[in-house]
């Protein structure tokens, strides 16, 4: 069975596994105060190209979002997001559980467009009764988005400017950040993100790690006692080394970027194959996720030999499905897929 | 440097590491729906000796406590705990962050004694204004406690009966459960705990795993949508296999119990050594934690060759320190320690 | 200046004021345990025409919504509401602050239509990943709605049946309930509401009282320790008599219904006047709120002599405004308004 | 039956009732934007003797505490209080419901003594693991305390200095503030409180009002969007006039202080009577609450003719009870009580 179902059904990258084995017998201080965490943080800082970034490690994506958003928002405030944002639909209400409303705005292919945000914020403060509502306290975007799309540098710059104008932080959910940064068509770099966002995270779980995300605050703006905030939400690992060793490996010799690039190469090959065979794309993406409109008959035939994800129903005869590549996708599996199309 | 500082500064047990490596290339379903999670759950069920237990995996101890307690309590209710309970002092207010008061009662060597609980609950409902206060909605105990002490079967039975009488669940924090169950002097078995408690967790992080705790609900009493509740608090791992493989290994061929027994053997040896050399015990413990009252001069001398934990100050000249063994403690290191005493 | 701005800018009905004065010197037990609260509860029970209803008093509408919704929802659940629902837009995120998402569905003139709810719930459970989202745990409607519209008995019955089918409570926000029940065109009675909803509140603040809402649980289904839950949210008044005397008066000799009917009579007269003069109605309502599309020129002229509320902008030249009658509106003021149109 | 049970079982002061009647027909803006609220705020500001104080009105004491404390605390922080503090024992866990731990310290006759606070804060930061605990973020005191005792100016000054040293706000719960300020033996003035505390509230409910408390932030330090925060917790009244008219009356011609002084005069008379008859005082108080140790036989005899509150059991034969005077206590009733002793 060929597997293009998701980017988290493999184990971890062999290099990470090797380093976990090599360091296993070392005695290390707990709670993230070990040398691997320290080294990983330095390497990430360097990759960001900014001296004033501060890095923390957390275990998973929903956890990261809830801790960062809860830390950045004042009590009276909500987080603005595209209505397709992960926090709005697929995190079991984790943000609301911390006490904050997700202020969902219409999306364009999964993106929160600058014009939509600008109009919303302008009109918000024109309403004389705005103090009876939830005040927008930060902006959440994901990159790549839940639809596999990417912001352009221009869009990201505009979002950043709007946030500055309203004095609210811009936070980027990078669960699949590697696949965004290494995309063939993007003009956005990690340094751009560090310059334009107030906080973001570099996803490990979906980009080669067993678990773990690296939270970055970009200008010495870490919320006070961030360790305590993280622990309060159950996000601190006693054996912080697990995260330290993984991220230290991912940011040694550009491993994170190399394996992300590989996933993009595989996705590009898959896109070519779909295109050649005349398949219809639901959305044009340039990351590791490909959305295809399938006839149900074809879908059922393919499903016998390949795994992929259901995305949404189109009509009685057609369905949108998602094929995802990852750092672990082999060229052979892509060729086998192409042969089946 | 000899290390007796804690039971979480090693990596993971070699057998677990081996299994993580062996299974790394397998493609597995995410979010805990993989076969290793399923297998681990079955093995834990069997180890509990009860058919109606239900098992879930979480990442760490504070996370587990906050999710379970938040799930078991009604809004108006608080959790009763010894004032030395981990949830009361060392979890950054994680329980209160979910909206619940920790109702702290006086401890006896870290234990919440049945008489103390009984008196508290009896008097609580005698106060005519009790509806203006926080209503006790469950009882939290740890076993071993934060002081390394253990409940007797008699005490556990009494606590269980009191809870039944007031119709509130009894929850046991087993962060170091292995070291309690394998203690030379205990009369409490895993089956006893499954019979007497409504919920508990089997600690992995401090007993050989890289991370992970196994939550057990003991009589088909899992709170509805426990997966969703866990995800809402950021406790679901996309690669649930990480927890599944580890617990599957720990509960294969009694590994969990064998390595726990080893830690106890080492602790027993250490206790002998301290006793022979005339050291003063702060508390008599039978688990993997040993509390010794040291003259500060001796403390400073020892500290050059051994790591241990500060526990509390006695007076200007004396300090209580903690020596902890673990599954990873070697006989050689214990002998070297003995030689230094 | 004629005032049609809102139904809460008057003081209280003279009869309530009289009773507050008459009872002022009595010594009464605090926290709602006084005889006036008891009497008011009995009268409301009788007005509901059901023996198994249970009544509680709270101070204001947002407070009531947050306490009731927080009490009825499990942790993992959200409250379904029309996107125009008061809880979704005008309560400063009070519901989210208690930890719950408002699951907003499209409205029809402020109403959550049975078909919309049915489709949403059916599709919700078809999504295999629904446990990763927020589970619908109750349904919130307002009657009259924020648009001044009313559910028909048929619609209310259907909503009730859908809720029963999914085993989730139906809760009705009756901030302006009197004006709904006494509307000329409604076929919904208080007894219907008590039969079809699981909980609702009878608004006092906007229907003659200084403050106060009467929460009704309709079938001995009061959440356990509701007093404690209310106090926990700061909703208990030490001088509960303030609420007791007011509701006792409102439900003596049908005062609540009579003054509501008066407001409707006045609104009907206003509607006639607007209609005769050829004004354009934004929505056809049959309650105490009237929404008119005004040319801005006319708006400015009127605004010199009458107060009304801005509702929304139509285009550069037209605006929707709201005229509200209340129990305090005089015939003379309506005639003067008519003369100005 | 003579009544000394509490200071909240009367209605409101006749002058307040008169003003509520006089202003009842006025049309006033809602949500606290009316002229009476504005006037009351000015008068309170003047009474505080400081230009930079900011005043807000809320409905009740628990509500006030939860809103102010939740607004002043960062997420990671808890509120330090004497263990006898109202927030720790008698508010149904309202503070914890907002997510914060009450850090309870030992009391001295209901007071949090400066030495106790100083020692706690000094030792807190000496613990190397303090970031694993709850960080003290503010200090709560009540004045008068729950035991009817008062801080001296010296104590209040020391508490204030300690708070400044640690950069955390000092908040004073003045549910019965009038009875403290007008006490015969106090050296603390309203101006002192405004100078030494960062926030406090002037209790209305127990000092002549039907309901209502006046929150004072003392140096332009109102938490941002305090209106929104208050509404989010259900603390905004649509008819804010109810609070405005009451506080405007209380702070006209020193009514608040005069009626408080009357209560103290009555309490002083009662104290004399108890003393003359040889009754044993449980605590020496100088406010409106008197705590007496009664033989149970005497208690039962008295209880036939007088109401008072149970405070606590001493032994099988003795009980502590509380007699409270209020603004409404008559000289005649005090004389009748004296005759019964």
Beta bridge partners of A289: A324
Q: Is B220 exposed, middle or buried (0-12, 13-18, 19+ CB in 10 A)?
A: exposed
**Cβ separation of D228 and A70 shorter than 8 Å?**
no
Could you say which DSSP state residue C131 is in?
Answer: G
pLDDT beyond 90 at A1: no
Please give the mean pLDDT across all residues of chain B. 97
Query: Which fold is adopted by the domain D14-254?
Result: 3.40.640
Size of interface A-C (CB pairs under 8 A): 56
Q: What is the mean pLDDT of residues A6-34?
A: 96
**pLDDT tens figures, A276-289:** 999 999 999 999 99
Distance CA B228, CA A212 (A): 20
Beta pairing class for D54-58 and D318-324: unpaired
**pLDDT tens figures, C71-110:** 999 999 999 999 999 999 999 999 999 999 999 999 999 9
Work out the pLDDT band at A241, boundaries 50, 70, 90: very high
**CA nearest to C135 within chain A:** A92
Check for a shared fold between A2-7+256-340 and A14-254: no
Q: What is the pLDDT of residue C300?
A: 95
Distance CA C31, CA A108 (A): 53
- Mapped onto helix, strand or coil, the DSSP state of residue C283 is strand
Q: What is the pLDDT of residue B1?
A: 85
**pLDDT tens figures, A146-157:** 999 999 999 999
**Cβ separation of D24 and C12 shorter than 8 Å?**
yes
DSSP secondary structure letters along A266-313: HHHHHHHHHHHTTPEEEE---SSEEEEEEEHHHHHHHHTTEE-EEEEE
Q: Are D51 and D258 in contact (CB under 8 A)?
A: no
Q: Are B109 and B283 in contact (CB under 8 A)?
A: yes
**Cβ separation of C70 and B75 shorter than 8 Å?**
yes
Q: What is the mean pLDDT of residues A262-289?
A: 96
The distance of D61 to chain C (nearest Cα, Å) reads 8
CATH architecture, domain A2-7+256-340: Alpha-Beta Complex (3.90)
Could you say which DSSP state residue C130 is in?
Answer: G
Beta pairing class for D199-203 and D170-174: parallel
- What tokens appear for D237 in the block? 């009244």
Q: What is the pLDDT of residue A321?
A: 96
- What tokens appear for B236 in the block? 């679901």
Q: What is the pLDDT of residue A106?
A: 98
Cis peptide before C144 (omega within 30 of 0): yes
**Cβ separation of A74 and D228 shorter than 8 Å?**
no
Q: Are A233 and A66 in contact (CB under 8 A)?
A: yes
Chain D residues touching chain A at CB-CB below 8 Å: 31, 70-71, 74-76, 99, 131-132, 135, 224-225, 227-229, 231-232
Choice between B179 and C313, residue whose per-residue pLDDT is larger? B179
Of these ranges, B306-310, C281-285, D66-70, the one predicted with the greatest mean pLDDT is: D66-70
pLDDT beyond 90 at B334: yes
Q: What is the mean pLDDT of residues C302-313?
A: 93
Q: What is the pLDDT of residue D94?
A: 98
Beta bridge partners of B79: B102, B138
- What tokens appear for D64 in the block? 């006030």
The distance of D105 to chain A (nearest Cα, Å) reads 22
A neighbours by CB contacts (3+ pairs under 8 Å): B, C, D
> Considering CB atoms only, which of C9, C27, C30 is closest to D29?
C9
The distance of B126 to chain D (nearest Cα, Å) reads 11
CA angle A308/A313/A315 to nearest 5° reads: 130
Please state the three-class secondary structure of D167-188 as a single string: CCCEEEEECCHHHHHCCCCCCC
**Cβ separation of D76 and A132 shorter than 8 Å?**
no
Q: What is the pLDDT of residue D1?
A: 85
**pLDDT tens figures, D120-171:** 999 999 988 999 999 999 999 999 999 999 999 999 999 999 999 999 999 9
> Considering CB atoms only, which of A30, A93, A234 is closest to B63?
A234
**Cβ separation of A99 and C96 shorter than 8 Å?**
yes
Size of interface A-B (CB pairs under 8 A): 141
| CA distances to A209, D3, D6, D309 from D302, in Å | 75, 11, 16, 12
**Cβ separation of B9 and A24 shorter than 8 Å?**
no
Which residues of chain C lie closer than 8 angstroms to D99, CB-CB?
none
- Mapped onto helix, strand or coil, the DSSP state of residue B55 is strand
**CA nearest to D133 within chain B:** B92
CATH of domain B15-253: 3.40.640.10
Q: What is the mean pLDDT of residues C57-72?
A: 98
Q: What is the pLDDT of residue B182?
A: 98
What percent of chain A is predicted at pLDDT more than 90? Answer: 98
Residue ranges of alpha helices (H) inside C130-173 are: 153-166
**pLDDT tens figures, A73-86:** 999 999 999 999 99
DSSP secondary structure letters along D243-294: HHHHHHHHTSTTHHHHHHHHHHHHHHHHHHHHHHTTPEEEE---SSEEEEEE
Q: A interface mutation test: which of D76, D97, D101 has the most A CBs within 10 A?
A: D76
DSSP secondary structure letters along D85-124: -HHHHSSTTHHHHTT--EEEE--BTTB--HHHHHHHHHHH
D neighbours by CB contacts (3+ pairs under 8 Å): A, B, C
Please enumerate in sequence order all residues whose Cβ is within 8 A of that of A93, keeping only pairs 6 or more positions apart, or say none: B232, C76, C78, C99, C100, C101, C133, C134
Which residues of chain C lie closer than 8 angstroms to B228, CB-CB?
76, 131-132, 135
User: Which residue do the tokens 């609702």 mark?
Assistant: C200
Which residues of chain D lie closer than 8 angstroms to C242, CB-CB?
210-211
Which residues of chain B lie closer than 8 angstroms to D90, CB-CB?
129, 132-133
**pLDDT tens figures, C8-35:** 999 999 999 999 999 999 999 999 999 9
The distance of C69 to chain B (nearest Cα, Å) reads 12
Please give the mean pLDDT across all residues of chain C. 97
Could you say which DSSP state residue D229 is in?
Answer: H
Q: Are D66 and B73 in contact (CB under 8 A)?
A: no
Other beta carbons within 10 Å of C165 = 11
Q: What is the pLDDT of residue C1?
A: 85
**Cβ separation of A89 and C128 shorter than 8 Å?**
no
Beta pairing class for A199-203 and A213-217: antiparallel
Q: What is the pLDDT of residue C129?
A: 93
- Mapped onto helix, strand or coil, the DSSP state of residue A185 is coil
Assessment of whether the complete model's pTM goes beyond 0.80 = yes
What percent of chain C is predicted at pLDDT more than 70? Answer: 100
Q: Where are the domains of chain A?
A: 2-7+256-340, 14-254
Q: What is the pLDDT of residue D47?
A: 98
Q: Is B290 exposed, middle or buried (0-12, 13-18, 19+ CB in 10 A)?
A: buried
C neighbours by CB contacts (3+ pairs under 8 Å): A, B, D
The distance of D16 to chain C (nearest Cα, Å) reads 11
User: Which residue do the tokens 């399938």 mark?
Assistant: A294
The distance of C79 to chain A (nearest Cα, Å) reads 11
**Cβ separation of A242 and B17 shorter than 8 Å?**
no
- Measured in degrees and rounded to the nearest 5, phi and psi for residue A40 equal -60, -40
- What tokens appear for D116 in the block? 């106790």
Q: A interface mutation test: which of D97, D131, D168 has the most A CBs within 10 A?
A: D131
Q: Are D132 and B92 in contact (CB under 8 A)?
A: yes
**Cβ separation of D242 and C210 shorter than 8 Å?**
yes
Q: What is the mean pLDDT of residues A213-219?
A: 98
Sign (positive/negative) of CA torsion A203, A208, A211, A214? negative
């Amino acid at each position: 069975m060929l597997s293009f179902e998701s980017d988290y059904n493999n184990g971890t990258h062999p290099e990470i596994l090797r380093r976990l084995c090599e360091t296993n017998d070392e005695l290390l201080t707990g709670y993230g105060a070990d040398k691997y965490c320290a080294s990983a943080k330095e390497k990430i800082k360097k990759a960001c190209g900014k001296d004033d970034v501060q890095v923390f490690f957390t275990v998973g994506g929903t956890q990261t979002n809830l801790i960062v958003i809860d830390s950045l928002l004042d009590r009276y405030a909500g987080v603005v997001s595209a209505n397709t944002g992960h926090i709005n639909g697929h995190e079991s209400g984790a943000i609301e559980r911390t006490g904050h409303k997700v202020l969902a705005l219409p999306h364009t292919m999964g993106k929160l467009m600058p014009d939509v945000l600008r109009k919303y914020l302008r009109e918000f403060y024109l309403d004389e009764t705005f103090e009876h509502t939830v005040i927008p306290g930060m902006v959440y975007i994901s990159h790549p988005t839940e639809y596999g799309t990417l912001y352009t540098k221009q869009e990201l710059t505009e979002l950043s400017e709007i946030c500055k104008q309203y004095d609210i932080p811009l936070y980027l959910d990078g669960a699949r950040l590697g696949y965004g940064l290494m995309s063939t068509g993007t003009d956005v770099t990690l340094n751009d993100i560090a310059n334009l966002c107030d906080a973001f995270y570099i996803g490990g779980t979906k980009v080669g790690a067993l678990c773990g995300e690296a939270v970055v605050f970009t200008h010495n703006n870490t919320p006070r006692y961030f360790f305590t905030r993280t622990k309060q939400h159950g996000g601190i690992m006693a054996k912080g080394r697990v995260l330290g060793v993984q991220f230290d490996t991912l940011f040694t010799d550009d491993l994170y970027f190399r394996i992300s690039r590989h996933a993009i190469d595989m996705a590009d090959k898959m896109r070519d194959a779909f295109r050649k065979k005349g398949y219809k794309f639901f959305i044009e993406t340039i990351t590791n996720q490909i959305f295809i409109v399938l006839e149900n008959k074809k879908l059922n035939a393919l499903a016998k030999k390949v795994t992929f994800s259901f995305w949404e129903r189109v009509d009685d005869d057609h369905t949108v499905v998602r094929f995802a590549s990852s750092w672990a996708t082999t060229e052979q599996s892509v060729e086998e897929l192409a042969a089946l199309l």
